[in-house]
A and B are shown apart, each in its own frame.
Chain A
């Protein structure tokens, strides 16, 4: 049923279930705790835990980052859940300055192995390759 007038963009339950399922099978993850409908605490085997905000925004922009981080404190990551979702580069940079990682669903599954700058700047291997091709001389 459509969520009339809802602007928070809550992920579909099946997307959250899939996300939790993939994280549960991830070697870097020790335990998951659902803190609220959109917030997950990811305890990791060798690294500090991550407080993760799950959203379903088609393209996360700076305004969304502002709205999410003012409503939810001490986040370590924001993940936009559907496969076709994304974010602007400005939003990714803004998040990094706040020490928050901004990721697509699949990216987070890779980022969870890292910490610090490697975590914040993590992009998928496919995206890394695409950026390398774009920046290479003809």
Chain B
């Protein structure tokens, strides 16, 4: 799956991981947050990315992947990343 910017720039996504995956040895699922730049990608594209990620993750790892989606604008106005102690893993 290609999440790189087509112009070779910084990808319009940031990937965070949060929840039990960071705390437990055998987590039942993996929670990630994808923060997207709403000025560079459409919501349709982001939703498609989520579907593809969930399917690919399931096939590869046989563990549930829960993906939250927020735009950059949305993250600026709330404390979800801080409150969840989400760790930036890519972007």
Chain A residues with CB under 8 Å of chain B are 2-7, 9, 57-59, 61-64, 66-67, 86, 88-91
Known: A5-B55, A5-B58. A61 touches B68 (CB 8 A): yes
| Residues of chain A lying within 8 A (CB to CB) of residue B69 | 61, 63-64
Contacting A2 at CB < 8 Å: which of B29, B73, B80?
B29
Chain B residues with CB under 8 Å of chain A are 28-29, 31, 33, 36, 38, 43-44, 46-47, 50-51, 54-55, 57-59, 62-71, 73-74, 77-78, 80, 84
Is the Cβ of A89 less than 8 Å from the Cβ of B46?
A: no
Q: How far is the CB of B65 from chain A (nearest CB, A)?
A: 7
Known: A61-B70, A63-B69, A66-B47. A89 touches B64 (CB 8 A): no
Is the Cβ of B78 less than 8 Å from the Cβ of A3?
A: no
CA gap between A37 and B61 in the complex, in Å: 27
A-B contact pairs, 11 of them (CB 8 A): A6-B64, A7-B54, A58-B66, A59-B68, A63-B43, A63-B50, A63-B71, A66-B44, A67-B47, A88-B74, A89-B78
